[in-house]
Amino acid sequence: MQNLVLHHYENSPFGQAMRLALGLKGLSWKSVEQPDICPKPDLSALTGGYERIPVLQVGADIYCDTALIVDVLEELKPEPSLYPEPMGFAGRMIALWSGGLWFMPAVGTALGTDPTIVSDEFWADRAKRFGMDRERFLPAVPHLVGQFEAGATLLAETLADGRDYVCGSSPGHADLLLYMNIRFVGFAGKQPDDFGTEVKAWYDRIDAIGYGDFEDWSGEQAIELAADSEPTGLCDVEAGSGFQAGDLVAVKTETPDPATVSGRLVGLSRRRISIERTDDLTGKVHVHFPRLGQILSPA
């Protein structure tokens, strides 16, 4: 298996979830700490401009967004699955809820109660990329806190029947994305047992998974790995998609983030977008995105 490189930073909730996913899978990986605000030149050299965290690198294949990273981890090592029975892949719907609808209430709870815990530069970065303008965001904090507590009540009620994990007897994608939000509100002084004994016991079980075997790497090492590798991800453009292999395309997230990645289309399905691009530092790479949540257009 090629080196797995996770580009992340310590306080990123989604980075936290993917560190635990690697630990749950028992995979060895390389850790590249990226800045928590832009610019991120080493990461941008690999992705072509996408600077969200986390990003998973497998040689010269660059995988953006946790929704795609978990798919790649499942392909690399199917067991233990991130979608354990009896719920199976339906657990992904819970993960999408936690990383989507419930995530901004977690952000409001974590940052809004004491907006000075992050820098002015951090607020400016999040305003540009996520629409989190501080002057408009802070008045919404009471509402966001209430929404977070309502979501935490759903989690507590789910665990009230004595199950060890949300989807049954084994942890999975859903647990990791729920855990990241409970952990994130620790910035506001909230503790897992504030949400009930079942949540605290569940949280401790997830926490005990750990991050597995990893080694710290520099951004330069990650770039060298890409330059010394060839993309290996299998790609195909589905018929009837409105695009053809080789088309010049651009990919942008469905958010205010202005970052756009351009390249030559090499793969497209209802689950994944893959483009080929070349950088002076990395050489040829394939950059992959989940189809859900991305805007694909002709370049």
**Nearest-angstrom CA–CA distance, 139 and 118:** 17
Secondary structure of residue 87 in the 3-state scheme: coil
Q: How many CA atoms lie within 13 A of 200 on its CB side?
A: 8
Residue boundaries of the structural domains of the chain: 4-79+214-298, 88-207
Q: Which amino acid is at 197?
A: T
What's the CATH number for 4-79+214-298? 3.40.30.110
Q: What pTM was estimated for this model as a whole?
A: 0.97
**Nearest-angstrom CA–CA distance, 150 and 279:** 46
pLDDT tens for each residue of 179-218: 999 999 999 999 999 999 999 999 999 999 999 999 999 9
pLDDT tens for each residue of 220-231: 999 999 999 999
Residue 43 tokens, joined: 């990461």
Q: What percent of the chain has pLDDT over 70?
A: 99
* pLDDT beyond 90 at 1: no
| Run of H or E including 286 | strand 283-290
What's the pLDDT at 132? 94
* pLDDT beyond 70 at 234: no
Instruction: Provide mean pLDDT across the span 128-155.
Output: 96
pLDDT tens for each residue of 173-183: 999 999 999 99
Q: How would DSSP label each residue in 168-221?
A: BSS--HHHHHHHHHHHHGGGGT--GGGG-HHHHHHHHHHHTT---SEEEE-HHH
Multiple choice CATH, 88-207, 3.90.480.20, 2.30.29.30, 1.10.8.60, 1.20.1050.10: 1.20.1050.10
Average pLDDT across the chain, whole number:
96
**Nearest-angstrom CA–CA distance, 247 and 216:** 37
* pLDDT beyond 90 at 233: no
What's the pLDDT at 235? 77
pLDDT tens for each residue of 44-78: 999 999 999 999 999 999 999 999 999 999 999 99
268 touches 243 (CB < 8 A): yes
Q: Which amino acid is at 271?
A: R
* pLDDT beyond 90 at 113: no
